[in-house]
Structure 1
Amino acid sequence: MGTVLIVDGSDVCRGPIIEFALQKQFAGEGPLAAETVISRGLEAQNHDLICDLAAGRLGQSMRAATFSVSHRSRPITVEDAEQADLILTAERHHRSAVVRLSPISRGRTFTLKEALVLTSVLTDEVRTGRSPRPTDLANTVALLDEVRGSIPLIEPPMHTSVFHRDRALPAADPLALVDGHEDAAIHRHATDEAYQVALTLGSRLVDLTEDPMARIGGTPNDWWWRQHA
């Protein structure tokens, strides 16, 4: 059993959304069902509630309602970072802050979107036999770190406001989930994106560590049908 640590700014929006989505994907009898998922904030105050928009994004199920009313923000500690098997951050500067807090955590720290890209690459590596199928979360994270060095680094776009009369809008970082609290539309988009990316990542992590034949207990044709149904 291991721990997935989610890190954002205040732990009231993106962090709890990602935490809930990963818990949802790991639940059941799969290989990651025993993993603990927690969220922390770099500037969090103790015991702040999840924001209303984030709570609404989790849905109307009893599980979502229970999570929303029980979540309280917590600031990250060195122990949190050093004990986590996988650290996922909302933005690139959060990733840097975690590594400054705990340098030994560098190989286990990714932005959420970065991890999504790397799991896609690792899935192809496993499918083609170039990489062994990971057996658990820690093994998966080690392989993701190896893959990280084999693909081009995605840099954030340059700000060009100096060349224009009016100040340009902030350029989007392709590896970041924006905060968006300053604008209602951006905030809605940010909560939707955090939830969907986390759901996809959670599903891919489960698939990576799960033997397809063991999951269905059937023939190769059964496996193909389950994948394409």
Structure 2
Amino acid sequence: MALHLLVVCTGNVCRSPLAEVVLRSGLQHSGDSGVQVTSAGTGALVGAPMPDEAVELAVKAGGSARLAAQHRARALTPGDLASADLVLTATRQHRADVVAQRPALLRRTFTLREVGRLAPMVSGWVEGHLPEQRLASLVGQLPTARGRWPVTGGEDDLVDPYRQGAAVWRRCEQEALPALAALLDVVAPRS
């Protein structure tokens, strides 16, 4: 059975689909990864596509232009949370919202930037050869890492670029892309 990695933001048009497209594409390079990646929004603009800036950023980060073009925003559901093995959120507030809806996800819900910061620190402890094995192992290591290397302030929040100018999109790129690359380097390292 595939592991389910869920990415959550507000509108499900910029940050969470960007991460979904990049992660799905990166995992596909590993063949049949056994990891299902989806995204949803806490205040989704249901049915809306990704804006051009988000599509361009996803492609720049190695994401599939086809996947980005096919994306349509959808609302976060209790079923999404019930099936999630790991939840990545855009901000600490999204993380709190997820855990409030499903407290059992406390040890499996992290911000994207938090995982990007912690995954390299525990990569030596991650076991397995297949992406789903490595992701399952990483999920087991992350709660301890969060307690060991905590951050204060908004360092783990990803800026919201929706309807913002080029400077905010550049900041989103600088915050999101390294975190996504760090996660993929641990879960699906290229030989």
TM bracket, shorter-chain basis: 0.7 to 0.9
Note the aligned Cα RMSD (angstroms).
2.2
The amino acid of 1:133's aligned partner reads E
Select the structure of larger CA radius of gyration.
Answer: 1
2:22/2:64 contact within 8 Å kept = no
SS of residue matched to 1:149: helix
The partner residue of 1:149 within 130, 135, 147 is 147
2:7/2:88 contact within 8 Å kept = yes
Q: 2-side partners of 1:132 and 1:75: how far apart?
A: 32
The answer to whether 1:36 aligns with 2:33 is: no
Cα distance, 1:57 vs. partner?
1.8
Kindly report which structure 2 residues correspond to 1:28-107, keeping only aligned pairs within 5 A, or say none. Answer: 28-29=29-30, 33-59=33-59, 64-107=64-107
2:15 aligned residue:
14
Q: 1-side partners of 2:122 and 2:161: how far apart?
A: 31
Kindly report which structure 2 residues correspond to 1:1-229, keeping only aligned pairs within 5 A, or say none. Answer: 1-29=2-30, 33-59=33-59, 64-123=64-123, 126=124, 131=125, 133=127, 135-151=133-149, 153-156=150-153, 173-181=154-162, 183-193=164-174, 194-207=176-189
Deviations 1:121-144 (A, max 9, x none): 212xx2xxxx46354422320111
- Point out where structure 2 has 5 or more consecutive residues left out of the alignment: none
The amino acid of 1:3's aligned partner reads H
Q: 2-side partners of 1:67 and 1:147: how far apart?
A: 32
Q: 2-side partners of 1:205 and 1:91: how far apart?
A: 22
Deviations 1:148-167 (A, max 9, x none): 2222x2111xxxxxxxxxxx
TM superposition score normalised by structure 2: 0.85
TM superposition score normalised by structure 1: 0.72
Deviations 1:24-79 (A, max 9, x none): 2212346x71211111101003211111210122338xx73321221010111122
What is the aligned residue count? 183
Q: 2-side partners of 1:132 and 1:41: how far apart?
A: 29
SS of residue matched to 1:58: helix
2:119/2:182 contact within 8 Å kept = no
2:16/2:40 contact within 8 Å kept = yes
Cα distance, 1:115 vs. partner?
0.7
The verdict on how the C-alpha distance between 1:92 and 1:28 changes in structure 2, with shifts beyond 3 A counting, is same
Q: 2-side partners of 1:110 and 1:132: how far apart?
A: 17
Q: 2-side partners of 1:203 and 1:2: how far apart?
A: 18
1:95/1:110 contact within 8 Å kept = yes
Q: 1-side partners of 2:167 and 2:101: how far apart?
A: 29
